[in-house]
């Protein structure tokens, strides 16, 4: 799993806790999230640790990148929505695969589909 940053002895803000929770749920590092929303890793680390006043576009970018609502990040919702899609490393792989050419995506699907079918039928490949 990606490095999740240096531990801090300071208690995080509620916003920082929610930001950290959503980021870890996706299995991405501060650097990966920072790159997605075009800020530095240092800025993102600050947001996770200190009281901050984000611009609206920054809050929207964070919520979109983390697949949560702005209300969740702001503490107006108690739990992030449970996604049915892939998480962590699988999500990252699917995001990369979605940018491949159609023929490359077909090759990925031809490898993945038989494996998934074999292991999703309840036998886990055992006969």
**Which one has a higher pLDDT value, 124 or 31?**
31
Domains, the chain, in order of start with CATH, read: 14-74 (1.10.260.40), 88-120 (no CATH)
- 49-76 pLDDT, tens digit per residue, is 999 999 999 999 999 999 899 999 998 8
pLDDT of residue 107: 87
> Mean pLDDT throughout 13-38?
91
**pTM (2 d.p.):** 0.59
For residue 84, what pLDDT band results from cuts at 50, 70 and 90?
low
Average pLDDT over all residues of the chain: 81
DSSP state letters, 5-63: ----SSPPPHHHHHHHHHHHHHT--HHHHHHHHT--HHHHHHHHHS-----HHHHHHHH
């Amino acid at each position: 799993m990606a490095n999740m940053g240096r531990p801090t002895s300071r208690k995080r803000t509620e916003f920082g806790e929610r930001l950290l929770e959503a980021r870890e749920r996706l299995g991405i590092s501060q650097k990966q999230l920072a790159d997605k929303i075009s800020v530095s890793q240092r800025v993102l680390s600050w947001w996770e640790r200190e009281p901050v006043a984000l611009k609206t576009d920054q809050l929207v970018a964070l919520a979109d990148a983390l697949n949560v609502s702005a209300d969740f990040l702001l503490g107006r919702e108690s739990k992030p929505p449970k996604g049915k899609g892939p998480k962590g490393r699988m999500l990252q792989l699917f995001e990369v695969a979605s940018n491949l050419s159609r023929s490359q995506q077909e090759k990925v699907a031809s490898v993945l589909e038989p494996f998934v079918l074999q292991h999703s039928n309840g036998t886990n490949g055992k006969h």
